[in-house]
A and B are shown apart, each in its own frame.
Chain A
Amino acid sequence: MTRFPVPIALLIWIATSVIPGNALAQRTDTRPDVGISEHKVQDFLLSNARVVLEPGIVIENANIWIEDGKITQVGTDLPPRNGLRRIDMSGKTIYPGLIDLGLEADLPEFSSNRGTPHWNPEITPQRSVANALENIPNIAALRRSGITSALIAPKEGIVKGTSALVMTADAPLAANLLRSDVAMHMRLTVSRNRGPGNYPSSPMGAVALARQTFLDTQWFDAANRAYLASSNLPKPESDSALWAIQEHISSGKLFVFDTLNEQYALRADSFAKEFGLKAVLKGSGQEYQLLDAIAKTGRTIILPVNFPKPPNVSSVDAALDTELEELMHWEIAPENPARLDRAGVPFVLTSSGLADPSELIAQVRKAISRGLDPIKALDALTSKPAELIGLADQIGKIRPGYWANLIVADGDLWNEKSKIEEVWVRGIRPTPAYKNDQNIDGTWDISIVDVKSPSETTKPKLQQFQISIKESARKISGSILLPSAGPEPDPKEDSKKESTPEIKLNGLRWSELTLSAKVPAKDLIVKETDANGSDSNTSGVALLSLAWISSAKNPPMLIGTLHLPDGTQWALSGKPSVNSNSNAPDQPSKDTKSNDDSKNGSEKGVSSKTIASSMRYPFAAFGLEMIPDQPETLIIQNTTLWTCGPSGILRDADMIVRKGKIEAIGIDLPVPPGALVVDGTKFEISPGLIDCHSHMATDSGVNEGTQAVTAEVRIGDFINAEDITIYRQLAGGLTSANILHGSANPIGGQNQVIKLRWGRPYEELKFHGAPAGIKFALGENVKQSNWTDTNRTRYPQSRMGVEQLFRDRFNAAKDYESTWKKWSESPSGPPPRRDLELDAIAEILRGQRWIHCHSYRQDEILALIRVCDEYGVKIGSLQHILEGYKVAEAIAKHGATASSFSDWWAYKFEVYDAIPHNGALMHQQGIVVSFNSDDAELGRHMNHEAAKAVKYGGVDPHSALQFVTLNPAKQLRIDHQVGSLEVGKDADFVLWSGSPLSVRSRCEQTWIDGRKYFDRQVDSQLRSRDSQIHRRLVQKVLESGESTSDKSSLADDPSRLWPNHDEYCHHHHDDHHDHHDHD
């Protein structure tokens, strides 16, 4: 702790701003007294302490007055004061008690059928910890750990309810409760495997529900006001949940969002922005991985310090299977607080996530050793959290008028050797520990003063010996030193008397002024043969027990017994050895401390080096250290351009790219000044490939498969920029993809088109300018054909019902539109309720949202076309569309496009008539046809799939390549920007080692926006970079000697929990023996 000079003025202020103490305190409760009332002295004067008033402000030899649970005075030259119980705190350092804002409690199950709850049981904002909590969980442990105030939040739910700020005194909740309804707590996800019956069953469904709920709150408020003003208007149904949210917002209170990882932090920030919420984030410990973006949010983070244990790398296989991310996270995680601090991210610290709150101090020390400013650390546990929840005038500092929440330590709290001795909460003195603090360090001369033996056969080897005890930190060790001849000296033991043989004392305990230990018997006794000729038993363990006897007059003694296995007892008596130098009540040598400090300093030097070597995103293997360079001007010369535009295939051509756009294409173009020149002789170049049906880069489960209609759900809420599939598909020449909701319901969620900008945060992956779209689905998946019978209850269960459901929702959206129209033409009363599901469907009807419909059989395709024709809707793309070849003329006439598999068939009944000529046949009927992947593996070689259009049905090669370039761009209505090599379009292109249609060609480079996001050569550098770091970290784990964890620190990461494929598509169901890697 750095000592700041305390201004004299402040001292004076402290000394004079006296709150008059009450000799006769007023009662603060209404309970009747039971039995005989107590009138102990409950007011205290702590004297002669080193007091840390607040982070960075320390006064020496100070006194603190505590009256009625509060601090009434603190300072160095206080006037005399009677009536306080004086406690000498010489040598102690007193800190303000710690405040932990990250705690949670299980509340009794919320009754969702009493009162007027929200229809969805995940929305329980009216729950209040102050009202529902029975006891503060773990309260004694919190207190012992120095945590004197805690914000307790409800554990379960999406909108969970409000938290309470409590103190942790040994007192009823009513006395400890400082403030109720402090913050509203939210979690924008749900637990995995909630089953198909419970909406929402996916993180994106959770966000959609939360979003609808906050909109409903606005509507509810407006409608209620209107109704109060005029009872002729409809009365909104009572809803205590919406009411609670409205109250919370209008009183300007705080929202706390749980964030499961660094990407969730950004998502929570967006949500809070959307509704203008005053929000803080409960962190994950992974914030350093997206530091800049998180710093930009300006949000305060409630930061855990549950740094992971190292992974088990103790065998070749285990090391091979340990991901680099896990190793790097183990190494860097303790630096997270320091990095956040340096980046200017405000944070408070929490014990949340630790197995026991008592680990908090040690973990914070670890963070300090890795660069966190100790004053900042204390600030993040005292003043900062107090400010955050608006209690800065009551807790978090040692000042008159503040609650007497104090930590008494035997030194600097952040020093490894210091211990918390007492924790005071609300001025309540902890029951004094009276811990034995007698130091028995040193050497004792022990004599055997008596031997009681039942057999007379065991004789002591010696009459006198010495016991040497070493006490350091919390560890005590000792040994028996034998006079001379005896067992071989153990060379490892570090003994003060060089040649003295010694016997280690096992299981040494020193408590309650008693020392006990175990000693191998053979080392103490002489083996003899008795009259019957049998040997005395010398095996077994002798038990030693010695009491420490001392008084003011006499020097200390050790008196006790040694019990041998055969029942022999020796009476022992000992006194401090004359040669010993440290039996006297000791003076712990202070110089070790400065050594430690210098050690910390050198560690900091090392850690800053690791920072430099590991900055990358994603924070895992193949993460990029910076965004790939965008050359101002680039010319690729003498190459073959598969333009996929009107120019067809150009040989010996040049292409000029400026600022990420294609500027010119032609033969023998002049080299622009300053241009980067690339020789394209060895390559053939195509536009970046585009996949119109993908589920990569999601960490939200792909399906909100509960309700038949989930149009309110948005894939874009959960783009996972860290999915390695992005990189793998980039390496196959893919540059854009349509990320679709799954096929579990007739109307699924909204899609998100992305560019594969590997290494960028998820917002930067989004394809701005791509029009909105939505997933529809038909056939086996939506009618749940391949589900177990017990789950087959949802409407629809037949293709007949599917068709009717579309009509029903289109009708509902039409009604919704006209309600709004009517209101906006003559706005009387409150605006109608916004319904995000119908909003999305109304957009479809208005032509502002494109349908991408999973479809197989000709009957269902035709039925959908007819419904859409009737409602004036043009379908964006028919997905899979494996029987499209049977009704191509109808598809063409309607104007839908077709995004098909190249040659998949027979994985389920409805695709038994799929043929690989499908694409060609539809193409020949004038339909815009693409081939899609719907699969992490297939998406790596879309060009190979395109070649199948040449093979099956004879499409010319250039048109075939358009199946995976220009045509999917057209289907997504982004062809003005991407899909072909044409002047003015984005410079998204691929350098192939040969024809892009040859299976034997290889993707050498992939460019997006004129930046080279993939390059075979860079890839090999990344491999060697990562394997070097992996090797280094495995060694570091092995050398650290830390206990390892068998559970991966990545195991709970959402991107590992949620599938990123469409679980309802049968081609993914297979778990063939050789393909465990595919599911």
Chain B
Amino acid sequence: MNAFNLEFDFNRLATKLLVSVSSCIVLASSLWASDQIPGPPQKKPILIQNAILHTVSNGTLVNHSLLIKDGKIAEIAPAIPAAEDYELIDAQGKHVYPGLFDSLSYLGLVEIDSVNASVDNTEVGPLNPNVRANTAFNPDSEAIPVARANGVLFSLISPTGGLVSGRSAVMQLDGWTWEDMTIKNDATMTIQWPRLGNSQARSRGARGQRETESSQSDNSDRSGPFQELVHETLAYAKAKVADPKRPLDMRLEALIPVVEAKTPVMIVANSAKQIQTAVAFCQQHGLKMILFGGADAIHCSELLKQANIPVVISAVYRLPTRRDAAYDSMYALPAQLQEQGIPFSIASDGRFGASGVRNLPYHAAVACGFGLDPEAALRSITLSPAEIYGVADRVGSLQSGKDASIFIANGDILETATQVELAWVQGRKVDLGSRHTDLYQKYKTKYDRLNSK
């Protein structure tokens, strides 16, 4: 692996490890297991009546019914006759949505951000194409019920860090084990595209300066290590055909579906230059690319359109990446992509580990104040990610034949005050309680008692 001469901050990693080991090992075993019990398999059909159905794929249907059978959406119609064994839900005035889909989170991988013993989203070293996020997914994470309680029923979970971070997976957010909960293995290969040129460096003082200098001292492509990796994989794949018994290289093995364009690469890139080089590289090598981050995506809109590359906007609640940029440049990005006809989805921002996933709908909603129509906003957190990650045949919209992973809310899910009242994952009823509601009830009880004295 000499070819991969990357800047990798081992010191920082080592420090991080040192800091946390002492204080946190004790906690790991006992604390983290949510009290919510996964729903039992659906026993009888469920008929939701008189609801406002936000189908996403077919507009909003007022006063419609939706039938769930065997974990699937069986029928959508203005009126569906009820059979005797149906469980009936009168949803008059209520809104039914497909489960929200976070385009990237660290749910199940990060419990407490500062406690390293509880963080499993980063492997050591720059090249980890072989690692799979879902194998470290903790179904009992307290963060999962918290996210679910606001309608988020799916998430892509991905490794991060290094250059090639590893393989992501699409998860549904109720079940007993990570295997139960995996909807799609190896959904993407996640790549952290090297930072290029002097992007952001000039204005960022001493720290940025170093980067400029290092990039000047070395004229070679910063993406070189990844290019080399692709060539090595191609050579390895060929050699393997010639000699199937040759020893396995787990890293290259994992990359074969990538170079065969079976697994998309999700490239984390924000500056215009990063995006341009990443797209050019993927085109050159015939890789299937998803752009993640995308702060400057609108500067490269023609390129993204031509190459047909979808954008996962990592967050809408996000500061402009340049001091001089318009204050609303991130708020307005979804509408701008929409106008350009570039497919996009919106993620919840991994800034706080997995703790902020429940705010996913507001990332989409804030874009509505800046030109995005509400239907497109809803799509960006339901069907669009399902399409981008290749699971739209099963999830992402209210459509007969798809999984009955849906929820009922008492209002518009893009408005904060709205409450999620009922939810199902594949027809299994989801416990919408969480660590937060438990603690709330506990201390509400305290004050009820105090105040009744």
Interface residues of A, Cβ cutoff 8 Å to B: 192, 311-312, 315-318, 320-326, 620-622, 724, 727-728, 731, 780, 785-789, 885-886, 888-889, 903-909, 912-913, 915-917, 921, 924-925, 936-938, 940-941, 944, 947-948, 950-953, 957, 993, 997-1002, 1019, 1023, 1026, 1030, 1046-1048, 1050-1053, 1056-1057, 1066-1067, 1069-1070, 1072-1078
Contact = CB atoms under 8 A, between A and B. Distances in A.
Given A950-B417, A997-B417, A1073-B160, A1053 B205 contact: yes
A786 B114 contact: yes
Nearest to A1075: B351
B270 A1076 contact: yes
A323 B319 contact: no
A1077 B201 CA distance: 11
A1050 B315 contact: no
A1000 B268 contact: no
A786 B15 CA distance: 10
B447 A888 contact: yes
B370 A1074 contact: no
A889 B369 CA distance: 40
Interface string B211-242: 01000100000000000000000000000000
B327 A951 contact: no
Contact of A953 (B314, B355, B414, B440): B440
Given A321-B198, A785-B23, A907 B112 contact: yes
B341 interface: no
Contact of A913 (B113, B115, B272, B439): B439
B336 interface: no
A1048 B324 CA distance: 15
Given A888-B447, A999-B415, A1051 B209 contact: yes
B386 to A, nearest CB: 21
A1012 to B, nearest CB: 16
Given A317-B272, A786-B20, A950-B416, 10 more contacts: A312-B198, A325-B323, A885-B439, A886-B446, A906-B352, A909-B24, A1019-B326, A1050-B203, A1073-B160, A1073-B293
B322 interface: yes
B327 A731 contact: yes
A1072 B203 contact: no
A938 to B, nearest CB: 8
Contacts of B321: 1076-1077
B342 interface: no
Given A906-B143, A941-B317, A1048 B323 contact: no
B171 interface: no
Given A904-B352, A1072-B350, A1000 B202 contact: no
A607 to B, nearest CB: 24
B21 to A, nearest CB: 10
B22 interface: yes
A317 to B, nearest CB: 4
Contacts of A1001: 369
B87 interface: no
A324 B27 CA distance: 50
Contacts of A1026: 324
A1075 B294 CA distance: 11
Contacts of A885: 439-440, 443
Contacts of A916: 436
B246 to A, nearest CB: 34
5 contacts: A731-B328, A787-B19, A906-B113, A912-B31, A1073-B161
A785 B271 CA distance: 35
A728 B206 contact: no
Nearest to A1046: B212
A906 B272 contact: no
Given A317-B273, A1051-B209, A1074 B143 contact: no
Contacts of A953: 440
A1000 B113 contact: no
Contacts of B195: 1076
A876 B43 CA distance: 57
A325 B202 CA distance: 12
B304 interface: no
B447 A925 contact: yes
A917 B293 CA distance: 31
Interface stretch (B44-52, B75-83, B92-100, B360-368): B360-368
Given A907-B353, A937-B319, A1073-B160, A1056 B205 contact: yes
A483 to B, nearest CB: 48
Contacts of B415: 947, 998-1000
Contacts of B192: 1073
B444 interface: yes
A728 B352 contact: no
A219 B358 CA distance: 59
Contact of B22 (A789, A912, A940): A789
Interface in B178-219: 192, 195-206, 208-209, 212, 216
A264 to B, nearest CB: 16
A908 B115 contact: yes
B111 interface: yes
Interface residues of B, number: 89
A951 B440 CA distance: 13
A1000 B374 contact: yes
B166 to A, nearest CB: 13
Contacts of A904: 352, 355-356
A1078 B319 contact: yes
Contacts of B353: 906-907, 1070
Interface in B23-77: 23-24, 27, 31
Nearest to B199: A321
A317 B209 CA distance: 16
A699 B38 CA distance: 50
Contact of B113 (A315, A1053, A1066): A1066
B290 to A, nearest CB: 13
A887 to B, nearest CB: 9
Given A321-B199, A788-B19, A1074-B350, A907 B362 contact: no
CB-CB nearest 9 A-B residue pairs = A1056-B205, A947-B416, A908-B114, A1048-B202, A1074-B314, A1002-B369, A621-B324, A999-B365, A906-B355
A903 B201 CA distance: 33
Nearest to B273: A317
Given A1000-B369, A1053-B205, A1073-B293, A944 B362 contact: yes
B55 to A, nearest CB: 21
B436 A917 contact: yes
A566 B163 CA distance: 57
Given A885-B443, A915-B436, A1074-B292, A1051 B349 contact: no
A905 B20 CA distance: 18
Contacts of A192: 206
A377 B292 CA distance: 56
B89 interface: no
A1074 B414 contact: no
B412 to A, nearest CB: 9
Contacts of A907: 112-114, 352-353, 355
B409 to A, nearest CB: 11
Contacts of B365: 999-1000
A881 to B, nearest CB: 14
Question: B198, B320, B324 — which one has the most chain A CB atoms within 10 A of its CB?
Answer: B324
A889 B113 CA distance: 30
Given A904-B352, A908-B114, A789 B416 contact: no
Interface in B300-354: 314-315, 317-324, 326-328, 349-354
Given A311-B202, A999-B362, A788 B18 contact: yes
Nearest to B352: A907
Contacts of B198: 312, 317-318, 321, 1046
B317 A727 contact: no
B293 to A, nearest CB: 4
Interface string B419-453: 10000000000000001100110011011001000
Question: B18, B22, B197, B205 — which one has the most chain A CB atoms within 10 A of its CB?
Answer: B205
